[in-house]
Chains A and B, each alone.
Chain A
Amino acid sequence: DAKTTQPNSMESNEEEPVHLPCNHSTISGTDYIHWYRQLPSQGPEYVIHGLTSNVNNRMASLAIAEDRKSSTLILHRATLRDAAVYYCIPKSSGDKLTFGTGTRLAVRP
């Protein structure tokens, strides 16, 4: 499994953008980069995933570095509901999803 490094915690103000970084320098060329989040007292929730190109969906954007050794999850306007633990997970074909410790995001009103 590729190793990931994420900040333990981050803070943001409500309605401001949030950039959550992830380093995955040992990622293989075919690993997808997945992001999940876990709100308090809930199961993890899929946010976004990508391989090489930047990706956008209704929840967030994913910016992937050209060398693929890092990526950034972008929440364009943080809301209180976005307070959660965010997990960055490189995933190989046929392999399980391996969760690290993630980044705990706090959103200030």
Chain B
Amino acid sequence: KAGVTQTPRYLIKTRGQQVTLSCSPISGHRSVSWYQQTPGQGLQFLFEYFSETQRNKGNFPGRFSGRQFSNSRSEMNVSTLELGDSALYLCASSLDQVVDSGANVLTFGAGSRLTVL
């Protein structure tokens, strides 16, 4: 069974540009979460989507946004890129219920590495 697929794997942008990252979850998984990983801040939660609705949101500025489609695929967008947005962006999916019991397990993709120049 295919894992979580993230595209593109690597990309380079310049300050002020915007970027869209894509995530295809495991078939049947309805929840998709996004994380940012940097050497200084570690793994930080961005947001979670379930059935096309944002269910949880981390402490990031409004430049970071996401959405989920009816087939559970998800995209995240970062507008007006800053140097500090250079990071590994990770997507994870889970076989989720309407209410997360706390036992839900996440499967992560390999990430999209964004470099902002």
Contacts and interface: CB of A to CB of B under 8 A. Distances in A.
Interface of A: 30-32, 34, 36, 42-46, 49, 51, 87, 91-101
B110 A97 contact: no
Interface string B80-117: 00000000001010000001111101111111000000
A72 to B, nearest CB: 19
B92 A32 contact: no
Contact of A49 (B4, B43, B105): B105
Given A42-B110, A43-B92, A97 B45 contact: yes
B105 A92 contact: no
Interface in B34-90: 35, 42-45, 48, 56, 58, 90
Interface size class of B (residues with CB under 8 A): 20 to 34
B111 A43 contact: yes
Contact of B103 (A32, A43, A87): A32
B33 interface: yes
Contacts of A91: 102-103
A58 B63 CA distance: 42
A44 B102 contact: no
Given A44-B43, A96-B33, A101-B42, 20 more contacts: A32-B101, A32-B102, A32-B103, A34-B105, A43-B4, A43-B90, A43-B110, A44-B90, A46-B106, A49-B105, A51-B103, A93-B99, A94-B100, A95-B56, A95-B100, A96-B56, A96-B58, A97-B92, A98-B45, A99-B43
